Amino acid sequence: MRTFKNLASLILLVFGFACSVSAAPLPRIHILATGGTIAGVGASSTGSAYKPGQLGIDQLLEAVPEINKVAEVTGEQIFTIASQDMTDVDWLKLAQRVNQLLARDDVDGIVITHGTDTMEETAYFLNLTVKSNKPVVLTGAMRPATSLSADGPLNLFNAVVTAGAKESEGRGTLIVLNGIILGARDATKTNTLSVQTFQSPNSGILGYVHDGEVNYQLKNEKLHTSQSVFDITNRTTLPKVGIVYGYANADPVLVEALINAGYEGIVHAGVGNGNIHKQVFPALIKARNKGIQVVRSSRVPTGPSTLDAEVDDQANRFIAALDLNPQKARILLMLALTETNDWEKIQEMFLVY
C-alpha cells in the first residue's frame, strides 16, 4: 500500500513540475509612470478635490498585486507631472526612452501611466515616433487613487494585459481605460468626469480587455510606429506649431501673434468643414506667404475637414486635416516639419498618417 502511495505522490510531483515548466513564460512589461490622476491623492474618498501625480510607481503597483499573475513587471518614474503640463522635451524624453527599452530583447511591451487631459496627444506622438511593433499602451484614471471606486488599479491591470498580448503587436500605440482598447490616432477625451471618457468618434474603438483577455474587432489602417518616417532619436526640440480656434466674428489677432512669435505652423480649428472667418483669412494667407504652413482642421467633433470644400486649398496652399482633430493635426504638422516644408508633401502625410 505504501509503495502505491509513494508512486502516486511521485507521479503528481513530476506532473506538477512538468506543468510549471511547460507553462508559457509571462510577458515582460516595463511601466513608465509620468503622474496624472491615476497617481492622484484626494482630501476625501468621495470629494472631487485632489492633487495629481502624488503616488510613485511602487505605490501604484502595490495596489494591483494581481498584475504579477499576468506579467513580469518592471518600472520607473520617468517624470511626475499633471499631463496638462506636458512639454515637447517631455515627449522627446519619453519617446526616446520607449525606443531604448523596446530595442531590448527582455522587454515585450510598455505601459505608460499618464494624465488623461493630454493622453491622446502623447499617445499620437508616440504612434508616429516609436520604432517597434511591440505594444505600447497608455492608461490613466478619471478618479484619484484615494477615491471610492478608483478606476486606476483595474485600468493599470488591463493595460498590462493588453501590452502583454500577442494580438496587440503591430497595432500602433494604444489607450486602455474602463475596459476598452482605443487606437492612439482616433482616441479623444470626450467627458471631463466620466470613467468612460475616451472614445474614437470617427472610427470606433479597436476592442475590449476583460477578465485578463483582449478581444479586438478593428485594425488601424493608417501608417504608424515602425511604418513611420519620423525619427526623433537625436532631437532635443520640435517645430513650434500653434492652434487658433474659429468662431463668429473671429479676429486675426491670434494668427498675427503666432506669425510674430516665429511659429512654423498654424492649425486653424475652423467651423463646419474647416471653414475660416473672412476677417481671419487674410492673416492665414500672410502666414503662407511667409512660409508658415497652415492646416485646416475643425472644432466639429466628428467628420473630416475635406480638401477643397468651401476653401480652395490648392489656390491658398492650405493643408486639409481630414479626420484629425486640431490637437492631433498639430502633432502631425510638428513632425512633418521635421522632414519637409513642402505643403504638398505635408498634405500627402495627412492622407496616410
Q: Does 84 bind ligand DGL (CB under 6 A)?
A: yes
Q: Contacts with ligand DGL: how many residues (CB under 6 A)? A: 12
Footprint of ligand DGL on 86-105 (CB under 6 A): none
Binding mask 251-290 for ligand DGL (x = CB under 6 A): ----------------------------------------
Question: CB 91 → ligand DGL: shortest distance, Å?
Answer: 14
Using the 8-state DSSP alphabet, how is residue 302 labeled? S
Q: Is 290:317 a contact under the CB 8 Å cutoff? A: no
Q: Which is nearer to ligand DGL, 197 or 225 (CB)?
A: 197
Q: Does 83 bind ligand DGL (CB under 6 A)?
A: yes
Q: Which is nearer to ligand DGL, 83 or 293 (CB)?
A: 83
Q: Does 196 bind ligand DGL (CB under 6 A)?
A: no
Choose, by CB under 6 A, the member of 27, 36, 246, 265 that binds ligand DGL. 36
Give residue number: closest CB to ligand DGL.
Answer: 115
C-alpha cell at 60: 501604484
Q: Which is nearer to ligand DGL, 116 or 293 (CB)?
A: 116
37 is catalytic: yes
Q: Taken in order 231, 237, 242, 243, is the CA torsion positive or negative?
A: positive
Q: Does 142 bind ligand DGL (CB under 6 A)?
A: yes
Q: Which is nearer to ligand DGL, 138 or 181 (CB)?
A: 138
Q: Amino acid letter at 230?
A: F
State how far the Cα of 151 lies from the Cα of 154, in Å rounded to an integer.
6
Using the 8-state DSSP alphabet, how is residue 283 labeled? H
Choose, by CB under 6 A, the member of 115, 172, 265, 270 that binds ligand DGL. 115
Choose, by CB under 6 A, the member of 90, 108, 117, 121 that binds ligand DGL. 117
| Closest among 228, 223, 138 to 174, alpha carbons compared | 138
State how far the Cα of 105 lies from the Cα of 76, in Å rounded to an integer.
18
State how far the Cα of 225 lies from the Cα of 174, in Å rounded to an integer.
11
| CB neighbours of residue 183 within 10 Å | 26
The neighbouring-strand residues paired with 74 are 30
Choose, by CB under 6 A, the member of 75, 140, 172, 242 that binds ligand DGL. 140
Which segment (111-119, 222-230, 277-285, 304-312) binds ligand DGL by CB under 6 A? 111-119
Beta strands across the sheet bearing 293-298: 241-245, 265-270, 293-298, 319-320
Element of type H or E holding 216: strand 213-216
Q: Taken in order 116, 71, 206, 227, is the CA torsion positive or negative?
A: positive
Choose, by CB under 6 A, the member of 116, 155, 298, 305 that binds ligand DGL. 116
| Closest among 62, 60, 64 to 77, alpha carbons compared | 60
Which segment (58-66, 109-117, 172-180, 251-259) binds ligand DGL by CB under 6 A? 109-117
What size, in residues, is the chain? Answer: 353
Q: Does 48 bind ligand DGL (CB under 6 A)?
A: no
Q: Does 82 bind ligand DGL (CB under 6 A)?
A: yes
- What residues line the site for ligand DGL (CB under 6 A)? 36-37, 52, 82-84, 115-117, 140-142
Question: Which residues are identified as catalytic?
Answer: 37
